Homo-oligomer: A and B are copies of this chain.
Amino acid sequence: MNKPQLDIDQLMSELHELAAISECPEPPPTVTRVVFTETDLKARKYLNSLYEAAGLSVRVDAIGNTFARWEGSERDAPAVGTGSHCDAIPHAGMYDGTVGVLGGLEAIRSLQRTGFQPRRSLEVVMFTSEEPTRFGVGCSGSRTMSGAYSPDDLLQLTDDSGDNYDKVRTAAGFKGDLSSVKLPEDNYSAFVELHIEQGPELEAKQLDIGVVTAIAAPATAEFIITGEGGHAGGVLMPVRHDAMCAAAEMIQAIESLAIENSSPDIVATVGCVDIHPGAINSIPSRVTFTLDLRDIDGPNRDAVLTAIESQISKIAQHRGVTFSSRILNADPPATSDERIVAAASNAVKSLGHSSQKMISRAYHDSLFMARIAPMGMIFIPCRGGVSHRGDEFSTPEQIAAGVETLALTMAELAQ
């Protein structure tokens, strides 16, 4: 197997061109790209032009998941898949997801340049909406593709304007039967995703590559706290039932439960807080906040979630406020396929890169792809472990190492 012939300059220029397709008020490299917006559609159009230029055949499913295929000599054999997402949360960075999509494309092009002829077809997937920004749940594309989400689950999602998933996807031009999104279990013989680590380990250890052996189990929930509003001047402190003061105590409790838990890997985040009515001189009557909770150990994650709910209930009772909670998702962890881990490790070795096996604490579309295909992931370092921020950064050299590792891994898996 010849070394893949990378054009890192082309890939970097494509990453920057994609970053410029953004609805963020800040300039690139800070990026906002929310699913099914004009910006998302523009990004998809750009990607499709690149696929076409590479001679790949493109299929788009009923919710916009996009498959760009390089046909192998055995067209009917299960394909080797790669890919990631191109949507970006508000004020995000330019590498999260995109390195796996454009890097997946460049991996294929780098193999094409060597004259390599795959037996199995190679496919780059651009998953619709890995980020939960618009519909409150992450990975709606791969969830549905894997069958973890049914069409009915999709139809129950609504965005902040109250528009449901179906209305929004059809307005964006994605039509067809939602039940056609689910892939058969023999669609891919292997699925391997390239991604920035979104954590500090690889950089701290000065390693080029992380070969992922498992993906931590994520859960998200929404809590609505209802107290009693009123004029900030008119209601004395002892008789208040301030929903924000209650929420503040709950947020503190969530943090403490995560810090004090015996698992060092558990992380809890309250990323959204919305106050009603939200006026400087009004006592908050209602606060909605979200919880993102993850652990490598699924049952421990669930135990902490239960402890959080119990603590929130106690605080609500004590403060004379009410609350409701809704689990948005609580997914099991996923384990990588040994054959893919071995192929990636071989690729790293033959390319002379340094690496370690590691856990993915962030979750990815691969968490769901693991339900219908042998799964693996390849991580590259990112500066300071920073992600979901405008200063998210990986060097061209780090990206090149990841892409050539991906290319060799896919080539081995395709034979």
Say whether A275 faces chain B, with CB atoms less than 8 Å apart.
yes
In the complex, what's the smallest C-beta–C-beta distance from A235 to chain B, in angstroms? Answer: 6
CA distance A196 to B336 in the complex (A): 66
Q: List 20 A-B contacts (CB under 8 A).
A: A131-B281, A132-B280, A132-B281, A198-B231, A220-B280, A220-B281, A230-B389, A233-B267, A236-B267, A244-B251, A244-B270, A245-B252, A248-B249, A248-B270, A249-B252, A269-B283, A271-B281, A279-B388, A280-B328, A283-B388
Say whether A242 faces chain B, with CB atoms less than 8 Å apart.
yes
- Which chain B residues border A200 with CB–CB below 8 Å? 234-235, 239
- Which residue from B91, B133, B234, B282 sits with its C-beta under 8 Å from A361? B234
Q: Which of A92, A255, A360 has the most CB of B within 10 A?
A: A255
CA distance A236 to B361 in the complex (A): 9
Say whether A258 faces chain B, with CB atoms less than 8 Å apart.
yes
- Which chain B residues border A267 with CB–CB below 8 Å? 232-233, 235-237
Task: Please judge, given known A-B contacts A255-B242, A388-B281, whether A294 and B232 are in contact too, CB under 8 Å.
Answer: yes
Copy number in the complex reads: 2
Q: Which residue of the partner chain B has the closest CB to A137? A: B280
Say whether A352 faces chain B, with CB atoms less than 8 Å apart.
no
**Contact of A386 with B230 in the complex, beta carbons under 8 Å:** yes
Residues of chain A touching chain B, judged by Cβ–Cβ distance below 8 Å, are 89-92, 96, 131-133, 136, 138, 197-200, 216, 218, 220, 229-239, 242, 244-245, 247-249, 251-252, 255, 258-259, 264-273, 275-285, 290, 292, 294, 328, 360-363, 385-389
- Which chain B residues border A252 with CB–CB below 8 Å? 245, 248-249, 252
Task: Please judge, given known A-B contacts A251-B248, A277-B91, whether A237 and B388 are in contact too, CB under 8 Å.
Answer: no
- Which residue from B199, B268, B280 sits with its C-beta under 8 Å from A290? B280
- Which chain B residues border A385 with CB–CB below 8 Å? 230, 234-235
CA distance A89 to B230 in the complex (A): 12
- Which residue from B230, B237, B248, B279 sits with its C-beta under 8 Å from A259? B237
In the complex, what's the smallest C-beta–C-beta distance from A209 to chain B, in angstroms? Answer: 17
CA distance A238 to B266 in the complex (A): 11
**Contact of B216 with A237 in the complex, beta carbons under 8 Å:** no
Q: Enumerate the 8 nearest inter-chain pairs by beta-carbon distance, A residue then B residue, closest first.
A: A233-B362, A198-B234, A232-B269, A199-B234, A248-B251, A248-B248, A231-B387, A89-B279
- Which residue from B216, B242, B275, B282 sits with its C-beta under 8 Å from A89? B282
- Which chain B residues border A276 with CB–CB below 8 Å? 91
- Which chain B residues border A229 with CB–CB below 8 Å? 386, 388-389
**Contact of A388 with B133 in the complex, beta carbons under 8 Å:** no
CA distance A258 to B247 in the complex (A): 18
**Contact of B234 with A389 in the complex, beta carbons under 8 Å:** no
**Contact of A199 with B285 in the complex, beta carbons under 8 Å:** no
- Which chain B residues border A279 with CB–CB below 8 Å? 89-90, 131-133, 271-272, 388
Q: Which of A271, A283, A363 has the most CB of B within 10 A?
A: A271
- Which residue from B234, B239, B271 sits with its C-beta under 8 Å from A280? B271
Q: Which of A90, A235, A269 has the most CB of B within 10 A?
A: A269
**Contact of B90 with A277 in the complex, beta carbons under 8 Å:** yes
Task: Please judge, given known A-B contacts A252-B248, A388-B230, whether A280 and B268 are in contact too, CB under 8 Å.
Answer: no
- Which chain B residues border A387 with CB–CB below 8 Å? 230-231, 234
Q: Which of A267, A280, A284 has the most CB of B within 10 A?
A: A280
**Contact of B272 with A259 in the complex, beta carbons under 8 Å:** no
- Which chain B residues border A247 with CB–CB below 8 Å? 248
In the complex, what's the smallest C-beta–C-beta distance from A166 to chain B, in angstroms? Answer: 22
Q: Which residue of the partner chain B has the closest CB to A247? A: B248
In the complex, what's the smallest C-beta–C-beta distance from A246 to chain B, in angstroms? Answer: 10
Can you name 13 extra interface pairs (CB under 8 A) apart from A136-B280, A232-B294, A237-B266? A96-B231, A138-B281, A198-B233, A232-B362, A236-B361, A237-B259, A238-B259, A245-B255, A247-B248, A271-B278, A277-B389, A279-B388, A280-B292
